[in-house]
Amino acid sequence: MAAGSARIVRYILFAFFGVMVLYFMSSSSIPRPPLSTTDLPSWKSEQEKTPPGAPAGDVQAPPPLTVEKVAEAPSTASAPAASAPALTSPKQSNDAPSSPTHPVVETSGERMNATFVTLARNSDLWEIVKSIRQVEDRFNRKFHYDWVFLNDKPFDESFKNVTTSLISGKTHYGEIAQEHWSFPDFIDTDRARKTREDMAQRKIIYGDSISYRHMCRFESGFFFLHPLMQKFEWYWRVEPSIELYCDIDYDTFKYMRDHGKKYSFVLSLYEYVETIPKLWDSVKTFIKDHPEHIAEDNSMQFLSDDNGETYNHCHFWSNFEIGNLNWLRSQAYTDYFNQLDKDGGFFYERWGDAPVHSIAAGLLLKKDEIHFFNDIAYYHVPFTHCPTGDQYRLDHKCHCNPKDNFDWKGYSCTSRFFDINKIEKPEGYKDQQD
């Protein structure tokens, strides 16, 4: 009886398993609907995701690259404003526009009549492309502004092709006029030679260089008059081998216009005294002869500790500048530069364009027309500007070391700029002092 019961149980189990096999065989032949793409895992990186509050797909693709060859004939026609991405910026302040989240980049809006400008030689190609990548990746891929390259010799095709391939706006290549890159007729070349020999013996940096002097004079008085620059109203100066450490998600040119700014900087320091012993004498002559050009509420306190009797050597480091070209073309600046040029200090000493621009901005502009771009994190050997504030650096994907920030060091003049403008220094600045 027990053996018969065991056989019955085995038959029942075999039958059950047989039914199950038939079921699975039949169900596997039934077509199944494809998996929805919404069910797939997302492979988009954090960097590609739309920032909070920004509409999807809000970054406009760059237009086709174009090399524009412009004849070296003066032109004063203004370029019509073209359509380009604009920005809804966060709440602004006197020292730096900032926000706890990224500003929202829109796909339409006003574009400024502006350009980048670089003085370079063909041999600088592989150093300037580093700067171009930094500027494009951190800023210009969103705005597609033009870029003007100037050289005292013609640019070769390799320089043009490589730089054009990297820039999202139009590129322009120009040669500097001979009279803007040579000794003017009123310079005593023997006296200038003796100055260079003396500076070489004293090991003053660039003291024996002729080309450096031509460069400083050109940047001080002529770059904004070049035919390629005539159609623009705003410029951003870029030099080889710079770095930008943070994303810039708003239009800096538009910020300058909207806030009444005409000159800006990111680094400031004291000039090498041996290069400009008589510069302030020329400035004082200009002040005496042209009191009508000296602005009310100017920045004399930034330049002098004794109300203009002497120069304290503070200046804005001009390898980075965003500024207004119409101001540089004004009668006030023209009279200022002509006074300095006539006195010959570019050749009889070694006047740099940084103190020349800085003194002009300090005297000819009101204090509130000069802007410190705290949020443009920048490096030019050997100094770094890294924004003070941990959260700001995180929000703007900065990769600079705050310990390298030069702003609050003893040799920087930025603290003086904050003081004369009554701007509150950012939290944490004391931690970055010497």
Tens digit of each residue's pLDDT (9 = 90 or more) over 70-119: 433 333 333 333 333 333 333 233 333 333 333 445 435 789 999 999 99
Give the mean model confidence (pLDDT) for residues 384-390. 92
Per-residue CA distances from 211 to 119, 163, 276, 346, 362 (Å)? 12, 24, 17, 11, 27
Give the mean model confidence (pLDDT) for residues 284-298. 98
Question: Is pLDDT larger for residue 216 or for residue 391?
Answer: 216
Tens digit of each residue's pLDDT (9 = 90 or more) over 56-77: 333 333 333 333 444 333 333 3
CA angle 393, 403, 272 (to 5 degrees): 115
Please provide the average confidence, as pLDDT, over all residues in the chain.
82
pLDDT of residue 142: 95
Picking from 31-35, 173-177, 418-422, which range would have the lowest pLDDT averaged per residue? 31-35
Marked catalytic residue, from 136, 243, 271, 321: 321
Question: Is pLDDT larger for residue 19 or for residue 339?
Answer: 339
CA 433 to chain centre: 25
pLDDT band of 14, cuts 50, 70, 90: low
pLDDT band of 390, cuts 50, 70, 90: confident
Q: Is 321 assigned a catalytic role?
A: yes
CA angle 30, 32, 36 (to 5 degrees): 180
Burial letters 393-429, b for 16+ CB under 10 A, else e: bebbebebebeebbbbeeebbbebbbeebeeeebeeb
**Which burial class, exposed, middle or buried, applies to 167 when counting CB atoms under 10 A from its CB (0-12, 13-18, 19+)?**
buried
Question: Of 301, 242, 240, which is closest to residue 267 (Cα–Cα)?
Answer: 242
pLDDT of residue 18: 52
Inform me whether the pLDDT recorded for 168 exceeds 50.
Answer: yes
pLDDT of residue 93: 31
Strand-pairing partners, residue 37, are: none
Q: Under 8 Å CB-to-CB from 259, ≥6 apart: which residues?
A: 92, 371
Amino acid at 304: S
Ordered DSSP codes for 288-315: HH-GGGSPTT--HHHH-SSTTSS---EE
